[in-house]
Amino acid sequence: MLTSAEAATAVPIAERPPTLGTRLVEAAQRGLPGAVLFGVVVANGWPGLMPGIGFWDTGEFQTVLPILGTAHSPGYPTYVILGFLGTILLTPLGEPAFRVTVLSLLFTAVAAVAAMALVRRLAGWLPVAFAAGLGLAITPVVWLNATRADPHPLHLALVALLTLALVRWQQDRDELETSANDRRLLLAAALFGLSAGNHSLTLLLAPAIALFVLAVEPGLLRRPLFVAACLGVSAGTLALVYLELPIRGGVLPAPLVYGRPGTWDGFWYIALAQQFQGSLADPLSNLPGKLDAIVTLASRQLGWLAPVVPLAFLVAARRVPAYALLSGVAMVTTLLFNTSYSNADIERYYLGPALWAWTWLGILGAEVANLLTTALVDDEGRLRGPLGRLVPGSPPEPRRWDRVGAVVAGVVGLALLAPGVADLGPRAAVADRSNDTAARHWLDEVLPVLPQDAVVISWWSTSTPLWYAQHVEGQRTDLFVVDDRTMLDLNLGRAPDVIDRYLGQRPVFVIRLERDQPELQARFEMALVASAGNTGLWEVRGRLDDVP
């Protein structure tokens, strides 16, 4: 029993601050939906993961990340740094190539959880938000990139987190002190720098972000020091991650370096992606053709939900106009760029648009859930219409609206997922890379054929697994793999020049595209010794003018 003095000073139970245990339980409850969605995305994508080394860019990233090397333009330093750390943390999962692929799936799961959090903040209704996050993850172009080593899943995750940070800054402005809310915007600035350090597509978002920030807080321009701080955080973060290029390209050279990022000109050549200049056409030309291409792509990605996306945007514009401004401008600038840019795998560039489309669909779904719930339950918690007549005299219940709404939102969420679930098998088959062992089998066939100290004049697709074997696995470090990039960096000329340079000094072998074969076969005596086609290994036995 309390004494009178203790009773006078006792804090009522309802007013006592929550204990650490209570806070942990509450945090776990808040994080449970995200954890479940993360687990569902990983479980869904795991069976289709590529098991080992691949050709092309896949093989490059599987080589560069474990050794903290440098990648092709624009360098992707954020991906390289995070990937290097990630492959260390994921060591128990298997060989480095597989671990790099696992990272793509994990980044996709992060993006799905961020999309769910974004929709929940913008529109409420957890079931609809969960469906939007899962729908994003099973969108074909997203799922396809989640099962291979590639920086685009990280781009999707960082853009989703950046967007979520901006929305949190906007929505919590009235509840937080100015300094605390300013830190939210500084966090968004740092995420922008990290994202730009991963992929230069992020730079297309700058106009949308500027318009959003000024629309939310027009008086921000009267705070030039804070504006400068935000710009400085973005630029500083970007510069910090890009230091990886000159450090690993020169100061502490990595085993595999693309280009010459250790030099001033070489750094800007990589960072500004100068080798791809000229790939961008006029963004405003042939707009009807570009619109048709976008509609066709959207139909393949979203099924019957594709025609609903414009309506979903209009609903978002009415309900959350600031977010509609941010995502709408970002969508337009990104689509104009993508439809004007020539790239061998351009669909990878549409992960951002897939994110924004699914947030709009989530907002639309929440609005539909609200309308249906209002039609079923009145403001006092009484059931309306036929449902009310089935339960005559049902008393008001304050929480009935929430309970009925949750059920309705669950049904709406299932409707949003219906196109993807109905097409789940074909989507899984397209994304499945579990049987993609071609590069490993090719290495097992080619490496034993090559004699000691051979020079292998290769091309990009086959160079990358050869580099993986050398620099990651430690196999055949005696080989000199000469890629077209190597020819440029070491001023070796073209493939015929390299053959002339080493023929008679070291064993010379060639792996070239079939279209390049006639030129070489017209000058050199060559014999196919392994594989075939574009991956065929040819032994150069001499010059034809030397053959009697």
Q: What is the pLDDT of residues 432-442, one digit of tens each?
A: 999 999 999 99
Q: Following DSSP, what letter does each residue of 248-266 receive, concatenated?
A: IIIIS--SS--S-TTSHHH
* Window from 394-408, 446-460, 489-503 with minimum mean pLDDT: 394-408
For 126-149, letters b (16+ CB in 10 Å) and e give bbbbbbbbbbbbbbbbbbbbbbbb
* CA distances to 85, 145, 168, 313 from 130, in Å: 29, 21, 18, 19
Nearest to 116 by CA among 30, 25, 206: 30
Three-class SS of residue 76? coil
Q: What is the pTM of this model?
A: 0.90
pLDDT attached to residue 29: 63
Structure confidence at residue 176 (pLDDT): 67
If pLDDT is split at 50, 70 and 90, which confidence band does 310 have?
Answer: very high
Looking at residue 380, its pLDDT comes to 63
Q: pLDDT-based confidence at 32, cuts 50/70/90?
A: confident
pLDDT at 144: 94
6: confidence class by pLDDT, cuts 50, 70, 90: very low
What per-residue confidence (pLDDT) applies to 515?
Answer: 87
User: What does the pLDDT average to over 407-417?
Assistant: 88
Region 439-462: what's the mean pLDDT?
A: 94
Between the ranges 52-66, 282-296, 362-376, where is the mean pLDDT highest?
Answer: 52-66
**Percentage of residues of the chain with pLDDT beyond 70:** 88
The mean-pLDDT minimum among 193-197, 201-205, 270-274, 462-466 falls in: 270-274
**Residue 43: how many other CB atoms lie within 10 Å:** 11
pLDDT at 148 over 60: yes
The band of 448, judged by pLDDT with boundaries at 50, 70 and 90, is very high
Give the pLDDT of residue 192: 96
Q: Reply yes or no on whether the pLDDT at 275 is more than 80.
A: no
The full DSSP string for 138-152 is: TSHHHHHHHTS--SH
Contact 213, 171 (CB under 8 A): no
* Confidence at 548, pLDDT banded by 50, 70, 90: very low
Q: Residue 398 pLDDT more than 60? A: no
Which one has a higher pLDDT value, 224 or 393?
Answer: 224
Q: Which of 175-184, 200-209, 325-334, 460-469 has the lowest mean pLDDT?
A: 175-184
pLDDT tens digits along 291-309: 888 888 888 998 889 999 9
Q: Is 303 exposed, middle or buried (0-12, 13-18, 19+ CB in 10 A)?
A: middle
- Residue of 175 and 150 predicted with greater confidence: 150
Instruction: Give the range among 232-236, 388-392, 492-496 with minimum mean pLDDT.
Output: 388-392
Average pLDDT, the chain: 87
pLDDT band at 392 (very low <50, low <70, confident <90, very high): low
Has residue 167 got a pLDDT over 60? yes
Higher local confidence (pLDDT), 224 or 400: 224
Span of 7-11, 39-43, 70-74 with lowest mean pLDDT: 7-11
Most confident of 22-26, 76-80, 223-227: 76-80
* pLDDT higher than threshold 90 for residue 156: yes
Whether 437 and 52 have beta carbons less than 8 Å apart is answered as yes
Q: Quick one: average pLDDT of 94-106?
A: 96
pLDDT of residue 403: 77
- Please state whether beta strands 480-482 and 455-457 pair in parallel, antiparallel, or not at all (unpaired): parallel
Helix, strand or coil, per DSSP, at residue 24: helix
Average pLDDT value for residue range 29-51: 91
Residue with tokens 């509840």: 175
- The whole-number pLDDT of residue 284 equals 74
pLDDT at 18 over 80: no
pLDDT band at 7 (very low <50, low <70, confident <90, very high): very low
User: Phi/psi at 124 (nearest 5 deg)?
Assistant: 75, -160
A 10 A CB-CB count for 339 gives: 21
Among 466, 502, 507, which residue's Cα sits nearest to residue 487?
502
Q: What residues form DSSP beta bridges with 526?
A: 540
pLDDT at 513: 87
- The confidence band for 321, taking pLDDT boundaries of 50, 70 and 90, is very high
pLDDT at residue 280 greater than cutoff 80: no
**Quick one: pLDDT band at residue 338, thresholds 50, 70, 90?**
confident
Residue 53 has pLDDT above 80, yes or no: yes
Q: Where are the beta strands (DSSP E) in 451-547?
A: 455-457, 480-482, 508-510, 524-530, 537-543
Is a pLDDT exceeding 70 seen at residue 19? no
* Residue indicated by tokens 């709404």: 405
Q: 253-271, pLDDT tens digit by residue?
A: 999 998 889 889 888 988 8
- Decide if pLDDT at 506 tops 80: yes
Distance in angstroms (rounded) separating the CA atoms of residues 317 and 328: 9
Q: Regarding predicted confidence, which is higher, 139 or 396?
A: 139
